[in-house]
Amino acid sequence: MNSSSSTPGILYLHDPQESYEGAMRSGSGRARLLEAACAARGLPFLCPDLRAVPHLSQSEVVLRLLDRRVAAFAIVERAAAPVLAEALARWRRRHPGAPSPVVAVALCAPGLGVRPPEALGVPVGVVHGPGIWDQAVSFFSEASGQELWRPRAPRLTFGALALSELRDRSDTAAEAADVLRSAYGSASHPRETHLRRLTTSSGLLVWAREGGRLVGCSQVRGDGKWGACGALPAYRGLGIGLRLARLAQRRFPGQFVEVGRDTSHAVRLVLGCGFRPVRDERTVRSVVRSSVGREIGVVGVDELGVVYRRLREGGGDTGPLRLYVAGRPRRWAGAAGDQQAEATAATSGNALPAR
């Protein structure tokens, strides 16, 4: 399979007054319908939680999702159009002369007669009523002059497995460790570290397979801490990491993750699947102390929240980090979290089949 690093992505901006949970609600949320359409075509689907961040930070969140290497097509609720306009304006100031990272915008409006905002500076089409996806596809293809929307995704299946089951499935644990080692390359922990974390922790393994082959996975610890997440290099650009994160959120809400401040790809991943940065220093200190048993050294606070450093598990400085949370955070109690994670995986109906 060829790498699809140039695969275009869909950026969906819901109404900033609507909760992320409402936008993604199963069966009724427009975001879920668009996500399913993207998944069928192997298109990354980015949907940040706009309501959870202050107004002045919303355009910064969107700006962090834009990537000059990969084209993006935006489907935007009418009330979110100013957020995208400000993000694009900031992009142009930071990257003078560079082409817009957004090729075209489909503006969702309740009816015709809506004038698209000129400030976006890219082709804008108004879509309304039922069939938003088909209308957007038609407009995007016309605006880009390319047929981008033919189904081309591999036949992937996704599921979740309690980590306690990996202790009796050494082949599956080894597969997962190999995927993560391959995904992170030279930046990876040793294979033995991945194996130890997969087989001695409580929580979930969320996975993606093509046929019988594991091609992507991520670990969520029993306390909700989201760990290593990756896909085999040949499967990058298909939004697998985004889908793994959303699956984990649905199976096990109240997650959190530490992300390097300057790791742009990881920041896009966590923001694109609804994680939000934490701006309260006391909360960050409490979560990190409870989760990893470390004290933090605060570097500062900016539009995306608290920036801090701490020591790694084996010693050494982590570099600047941010804490992101998804869902409604639970009390950060390990034992209760372990029990919830194991019970959730056991009742999800999506555990890996015996091999």
* Residue 310 and residue 222 in one domain: yes
pLDDT at 173 over 50: yes
The whole-angstrom separation of Cα 298 and Cα 215 is 37
On whether residue 173 sits in a domain, the answer given is yes
Q: For residue 15, is pLDDT > 50?
A: yes
Q: Is 237 exposed, middle or buried (0-12, 13-18, 19+ CB in 10 A)?
A: buried
- The number of folded domains in the chain is 2
Q: Say whether both 197 and 110 belong to one domain.
A: no
CA angle 278, 46, 197 (to 5 degrees): 60
Same domain assignment for residues 114 and 172: no
Mean confidence (pLDDT) of the chain: 84
Residue 112 has pLDDT above 60, yes or no: no
Same domain assignment for residues 28 and 105: yes
* Beta carbons of 145 and 137 less than 8 angstroms apart: no
341 with 249, same domain: the answer is: yes
What percentage of the chain carries pLDDT values higher than 90?
52
Same domain, 132 and 235: no
Structural contact between residues 218 and 230, judged by C-beta atoms closer than 8 angstroms: yes
Q: Give the pLDDT score at 103.
A: 93
Residue 205 to residues 32, 60, 215, 310, 332: CA-CA distances in angstroms?
22, 31, 13, 26, 19
Task: Please check whether residues 106 and 227 belong to one and the same domain.
Answer: no
Tens digits of residue pLDDT in 227-269: 889 999 998 888 899 999 999 988 887 899 999 998 888 999 9
pLDDT for residue 251: 85
For 32-75, give the DSSP string. HHHHHHHHHHT--EE----TTS-HHHHHHHHHHH--TTS-EEEE
Task: Over range 293-316, report the average pLDDT.
Answer: 90
**CATH code for position 16:** 3.40.50.2300
The answer to whether the beta carbons of residues 126 and 114 sit under 8 Å apart is: yes
Are the C-beta atoms of residues 302 and 261 closer than 8 Å to each other? no
Cα Rg of the chain, angstroms = 20
Mean pLDDT of 298-304: 92
In a domain, 57, yes or no: yes
User: Is 139 in contact with 109 (CB distance < 8 Å)?
Assistant: no
Polymer length in residues for the chain: 355
The pLDDT of residue 111 is 59
Residue 222 in domain: yes
Per DSSP, the three-state class of 278 is: coil
Residue 41, domain extent: 9-144
Contacts of 268 (CB under 8 A, 6+ apart): 46, 64, 65, 67
Q: Using the 3D structure, point to which of 92, 117, 144 is the last residue of a domain.
A: 144
Question: Of the candidates 118, 144, 170, which is a domain's last residue?
Answer: 144
> Looking at residue 354, what is its pLDDT?
30
Whether residues 180 and 59 share a domain: the answer is no
Structural domain contains residue 353: no
pLDDT at 148: 65
Q: Which two tokens stand for residue 113?
A: 């007669």
Residue 63 lies in a domain: yes
| Domain boundary pick from 94, 118, 144 | 144
150 lies in some domain: no
238 is a domain residue: yes
Q: Are residues 140 and 160 in the same domain?
A: no
Q: Residue 249's pLDDT is what?
A: 87
pLDDT for position 13:
95
Which of 34-38, 64-68, 146-150, 205-209 is the least confident region? Answer: 146-150
Residues 164 and 276 in one domain: yes
Other CB atoms within 10 Å distance of the CB of residue 271 = 24
Residue 147 has pLDDT above 90, yes or no: no
Over residues 72-76, mean pLDDT: 95
% of the chain exceeding 70 in pLDDT: 85
